[in-house]
Amino acid sequence: MSAVFDLLERPTYTMAQVDRLLGLPSGTARRWIDGYVRNGKPYPPVVREEHTGEDYATWGEFVETRLLSEFRSAGVPLINMRPAIEVLRAETGSPYPLAHSANLITSVGRELVKRVQDEVNLDEALQLVVLRNGQFMLTPPAETYMNAVRFNKRGDAVSIYPDPEFREIVIDPLRAFGEPVVDDRAVPTEVIAEQVRAGDSEEMVAELYELSPEQVRAAVLFELRRSA
């Protein structure tokens, strides 16, 4: 088993942490990742192959939930995306087909996604790829997701930019227990913001952690936005 596959399978967050890190309403991650029951009717998970009852999400599940979060305002139940993901799992042999850039960057991968979407009659509002002027193009939600995820040379998701306006800040499962950090030094943004709130100047904090004042400022603004 590869190290990257181990990473995607690594239990990383509680469901509550996934909601917090992705800015989702409480309980959303659990419904999407592990399914739920409403009025006695079970609804299968979108992300997992089947309900497990586990409170922890793997890194691969977190990454795919990040993609689903882009479709929250689609007006179509996200459970409708499950058939497409199931077929993509079978076609790619990966439990996390949307955590690999090849399926959304390369023309072959996009063609596969488009074919699967058509096979399962996926709602237009939930589609990842469209055919435009003879080319397979990402839809806006899929493009936003791809710009938020950092992939390694093999095309596997290894970290996420939690806010597109602050590219200095990343979420990396192997650093700071997966909490948002300033990329260069892996200093948690929460630690930086707490020290500034306690009265330390941004310049002092920057010197303490060997960061630039711009990085410290980005961490403070990021945490302010998260708590708003």
CA angle 39, 40, 41 (to 5 degrees): 95
For residue 151, what is the DSSP state?
E
Between CA 89 and CA 169 the distance in angstroms is: 31
Contact 169, 218 (CB under 8 A): yes
Helix (H) and strand (E) counts for the chain? 11, 11
Segment 98-148, tens digit of pLDDT: 998 888 999 999 999 999 999 999 999 999 999 999 999 999 999 999 999
pLDDT attached to residue 227: 77
Segment 8-41, tens digit of pLDDT: 999 999 999 999 999 999 999 999 999 999 999 9
Segment 56-100, tens digit of pLDDT: 999 999 999 999 999 998 999 999 999 999 999 999 999 999 998
Domains of the chain: 161-228 (1.10.10.10)
Q: Say yes or no to pLDDT of 3 above 60.
A: no
pLDDT attached to residue 1: 43
49: amino acid identity, one letter: E
Q: Tokens 């806006």 sit at which residue?
A: 140
Q: Which of 62, 7, 5 is nearest to 33 (CA)?
A: 62
Where helices occur in 70-150 by DSSP H, the ranges are: 82-92, 102-105, 107-119, 140-148
Between CA 153 and CA 82 the distance in angstroms is: 28
pTM score over 0.85? yes
